Amino acid sequence: MADTASTFKQDLLGAIPSLRAFAMSLAQNADKADDLVQETLVKAWDKQASFQPGTNLKAWVFTILRNEFYSQMRKRGREVQDSDGVITARLAVHPAQQGSMDLDDFRTALETLPEDQREAIILIGASGFSYEEAAEICDCAVGTIKSRVSRARSRLQEILNVSGEADFGPDAISAQVMGSNAA
Amino acid sequence: MKPNIAAATGGQKKAGRRSETLGSNSEIGRKLKQYYDDLVSDEVPDRFANLLKQLEESEKASATPVGEGQ
């Protein structure tokens, strides 16, 4: 018993850096992000019994964090989202100088994405989850995740003025995204 | 002239994994990882480890059967 509990604690500890990164990507504010992580850890601890050892703990806590994020957003009555306007205006400083886009520009561009697209591209492109895992975390269909990632990616390319990858055109990319079930 | 569709689709198969969709071939994919790794490598404040310790301790305390402690 005690052993299971302390393994669980160790695993939770190990997940904190990723949880914080995911929280930051969602909340875009360090204080809010850390509050989210704290809330997530407490919830995870309480729900400990419902976690099945051997399954993906990281995916499990990401799910908790994500639910927490959206429920807090609902409670707050949705603070005004930056609906493209303000942040996009800040981006008017020509971001991409031919292949040398700045990380700050990227961050700003990422902030302009709708949450569902942002979380999808983060889960798939950065956190290392599979489409199936991401779909489970976001409680939606695999195809939905794929299309969100695809839209997020095109939007980022557009904002950052990155010419679509030279090695394969935009059509090939969406075909890939849509057709990667076999992978 | 028809483009060589067969060759194009054949070539995509191996590129169909997510690692390549947002992978090292892609500027967006690279930035995304850089952005995220930056966040992951951020130093974790002690409050989280302390919190887990507290949770663990309070659980142990309440798990001790009443009257049978000591």
Report how many domains make up chain B. Answer: 1
Position B26 in a domain: yes
Q: How many CA atoms lie within 13 A of A132 on its CB side?
A: 6
Work out whether the CA dihedral A155, A91, B39, A70 comes out positive or negative: negative
Q: Is the ipTM of this complex over 0.85?
A: no
Domain residues for the domain of B47 are: 16-59
Asked if the model's pLDDT at residue A93 lies above 50, the reply is: no
Taking CA–CA distances from B32, the nearest residue in chain A reads A126
A1 versus B50: the higher-pLDDT residue is B50
Q: Which member of B12, B17, B18 has the closest CB to residue A175?
A: B12
Q: Do B33 and A124 touch (CB under 8 A)?
A: no
| Minimum distance, in Å, between the CA of residue B6 and any CA atom of chain A | 13
| Average pLDDT per consecutive 10 residues, chain B (70 residues; last block may be shorter) | 46 42 76 95 95 90 60
Q: Do B18 and A16 touch (CB under 8 A)?
A: no
Looking at the domain A80-183, which fold is it?
Answer: Arc Repressor Mutant, subunit A (1.10.10)
Among residues A95, A91, A88, the alpha carbon closest in space to that of A112 is found at A88
Q: Do A17 and B42 touch (CB under 8 A)?
A: yes
Among residues A41, A52, A3, A59, the alpha carbon closest in space to that of B55 is found at A41
CA distance A6 to B53: 10
Q: What is the pLDDT of residues A105-132, one digit of tens each?
A: 999 999 999 999 999 999 999 999 999 9
A181 versus A37: the higher-pLDDT residue is A37
- Chain A segment 75-94 residues within 8 A of B by beta carbon are none
Who contacts A7 (Cβ-Cβ below 8 Å, separation ≥6)?
A53
CB contact A110 to B (< 8 Å): yes
- CATH 1.10.260.40 for the A1-79 domain, yes or no: no
Position B25 in a domain: yes
What is the pTM for the complete model shown? 0.74
CB-based burial label for A111 (10 Å; 0-12, 13-18, 19+): middle
Find chain B residues with C-beta within 8 A of A9's C-beta.
Answer: 52, 56
Position B1 in a domain: no
- Mean pLDDT, rounded, of chain A: 82
- Structural domain spans, chain A: 1-79, 80-183
What tokens appear for A120 in the block? 């999808």
Interface test with A, best of B28, B38, B40, B50 (most A CBs within 10 A): B28
Q: Do B22 and A125 touch (CB under 8 A)?
A: yes
